Chain A
Amino acid sequence: MEQVKITLQDREIPKKWYNIMADLPTPMKPPLHPGTGQPVSPGDLAAIFPMNIIEHEASGKRWIKIPDEVLQKYLLWRPSPLYRAYNFEKLLNCPVKIYYKNEGVSPAGSHKPNAAIPMAYYNKVAGTKRITTETGAGQWGSALSMACQMFDLICRVYMVKISYEQKPYRRMMMNTWGAECIPSPSNLTQAGRNVLAEHPDSPGSLGIAISEAIEDAVTSKDTKYALGSVLNHVLLYQSIIGLEAQKQMQKIDVYPDVVMGCCGGGSNFAGLASSFVCDKINGKDVKIVGAEPSSCPSMTKGPFAYDFGDLAKTTPLLPMYTLGHDYVPAPIHAGGLRYHGMAPIVSHLVRENLVEPRAYDQLKTFDAGVKWARSEGFIPAPETNHVLAAVVDEAMRAKEEGKEKTILFNWSGHGLVDLAAYDAYLSGKLEAYELPDAEVERALNAIKNFPKP
């Protein structure tokens, strides 16, 4: 019988968060105030965040103690188990060992409570009585609702109206945890009323919901705002994932060759990866990959061939699925949008060549997610499917290269509240990507003189 789960005792839970800001090889540029052009000061954010959280946002300290009250809540599901995915390995039939952190075991079903709980706690300590936030389909909103209930805070979530109507189950979760879930745009804020005056049938957007949540926080007594991704303090609170994973891998005397996570706002990716990035900065030979959604169809159309890893041809020739190093989807090429919306820390790590971004189209990700569900049993959240596509990709590369690899990735949440997405995929309703044959021919031509793997 093979050991599938590597667990930690409650007493072994990490007692400090790790802050990658302390170890960056080059400092990050500070965000600038749009009005003054000067670096943002803590006071600029004081209207929406309590000062204890702002201190974390700006902190350069390597280690920050996790309060006992937060640890006690973490222990409801943490330390989360590290699994070996034997069944998926067998299915892929590649020379890889695959380990994953199962963050789907939290009460809200994802990694989001890792950040929601300390945010609720620090707000409570600072005297906040009420927290507002926005949510798309509800993963963050439900996690914060639970965390606010744990610390006796009132929670109001502005949920994008179209998702409010399409995705009732997370709204019900929020209500069950005692939060108020408002379809946005609403009549409760000036921002919402302005939209409704011009577009009474507006389906809403994340931008409108953020505007409403912030206006509510700024104009209401004893109220603050919480954001579930992108910002430094969010990534700091998520670092417990990677710290636990390091302890668990030490227990079995294994170190990963590749660490992978999916990159939306960067919180689950950095949560697993940041402590491994620290190892890499200190000389460890580990590849760190962030998987993101893209229209780039290189995996489905491109050949496995030697090519440069970047447009500037600065990398050595690498074996990869490629459409040619000069293939860049138009919007990425034009505006550098690739990293917009991703955490500044993650973008910085990419620019420093410490993290390799990879993009996978939606059909490929669902294909990987269904393969996972049919082998390992757990149904992944659709976002988690991005990293599963990256794991499949990495396993195939290992096979092509004839190398054995150990892969560690973050299984960031389950998809039991997202089954409509699987239904859309399984019934063929999700749009398939098509790449003109001429583009494939052009790509093949661009690499025709390179050696073949």
Chain B
Amino acid sequence: MKTEHDNKLIRCPKLGDEMTFSYCLRESVDLPCSRIVRCWSACFDVAAFLKEFLTPEQWNNFNNSRQNDKVTSLIELIEAAKVKK
């Protein structure tokens, strides 16, 4: 679904590259990037926009997504990869 903000451009601190809002909106595959509110909130009311744009389930998942520290994330990925070995 297209939005009025899709082509707005910002420097992405995760990638070190310029990204459009449409990328931030789908960065986590089915969910927006975890930084989207922080990065865009001074440009427009992104939280209100997301609440309208996302389904209630997506909005809930976005708000409850866990932010692990790096080592914990790495161990989760290691364990997931071991299963694929």
A→B interface (CB under 8 Å): 31-35, 40, 44-45, 47-48, 136-139, 160, 162-163, 166-167, 190-191, 195, 198-199, 202-203, 205-208, 210-211, 214-215, 217-219, 227, 230-231, 264, 292-297, 329-332, 335, 337, 340-341, 344, 361-362, 382-383, 418, 420-421, 424, 429-435
**In the complex, chain B residues whose CB is within 8 Å of the CB of A31:** 69-72
* Chain A nearest Cβ from B63, distance in angstroms: 9
Please name all residues of chain B whose beta carbon is closer than 8 Å to the beta carbon of A294 when the two chains form the complex.
Answer: 38
Q: Is the CB of B11 within 8 A of A435?
A: no
Interface size class of B (residues with CB under 8 A): 35 or more
Beyond A208-B29, A218-B82, 12 additional contacts (C-beta under 8 Å) are A34-B72, A163-B17, A166-B17, A205-B28, A227-B70, A230-B70, A264-B13, A295-B43, A331-B41, A362-B11, A421-B11, A435-B42
Which residues of B sit under 8 angstroms from A34, Cβ to Cβ? 68, 72, 75-76, 79
* A44-B78, A215-B81, A231-B71 as given contacts; A430 in contact with B10, CB under 8 Å: yes
Min CB–CB distance B5 → chain A (angstroms): 9
30 contacts between A and B (CB under 8 A): A33-B72, A33-B75, A40-B72, A45-B71, A45-B74, A45-B78, A162-B23, A163-B15, A198-B29, A202-B29, A203-B23, A205-B28, A206-B14, A210-B73, A214-B77, A214-B78, A214-B81, A215-B84, A218-B82, A219-B81, A293-B13, A294-B38, A295-B40, A297-B42, A330-B41, A331-B47, A335-B67, A340-B34, A344-B69, A429-B18
**Contact A430 B38, CB 8 Å, known A31-B69, A219-B84, A382-B16:** no
Residues of A contacting B54 in the complex (Cβ-Cβ under 8 angstroms): none
- Across chains A and B, the number of contacting residue pairs, with CB separation under 8 Å, is 163
How long is the Cα–Cα vector from A230 to B71 in the complex, in angstroms? Answer: 9
B20 to nearest A CB, angstroms?
Answer: 9
**Shortest CB–CB separation between residue B29 and chain A, in angstroms?**
6
Bound together, the chains give a CA A292 to CA B11 distance in angstroms of: 12
Our pick among A32, A202, A218, A430 for the contact of B72 (Cβ within 8 Å) is A32
Q: Mark B residues whose CB is within 8 Å of A.
A: 8-19, 23, 26-29, 33-35, 37-44, 47, 67-82, 84-85
Interface centre among A45, A203, A331, A341 (most CB of B within 10 A): A331
Contact B16 A35 (CB under 8 A): no
Within the complex, which residue of A207, A230, A421 is in contact with B28, where a contact is CB–CB below 8 Å? Answer: A207
Q: Which residues of B contact A431 (CB under 8 A)?
A: 8-10, 40, 43
Q: Across the two chains, which residue of chain B brings its CB closest to A365?
A: B11
Min CB distance A142 to B, Å, is 12
In-complex Cβ contact of B38 among A40, A231, A331 (8 A): A331
| B43 interface neighbour in A32, A45, A432, Cβ under 8 Å | A432
Q: Which residues of A contact B73 (CB under 8 A)?
A: 210
State how many angstroms separate the Cβ of B10 from the closest Cβ of chain A.
Answer: 5
A130 CB to closest chain B CB, in angstroms?
15
Contact status A295-B39, CB under 8 Å: yes
Given contacts A431-B9, A433-B42, contact A160 B78 (CB under 8 A): no
Establish whether residues B10 and A330, one from each chain, have CB atoms under 8 Å apart when the complex forms: no
Distance to closest chain A CB from B35 (angstroms): 7
Q: Are B84 and A167 in contact, with the CB atoms below 8 A?
A: no
Contact yes or no, B81 A331, CB < 8 A: no
Given contacts A34-B76, A293-B13, contact A337 B38 (CB under 8 A): yes
Docked complex Cα distance between A137 and B17 (Å): 6
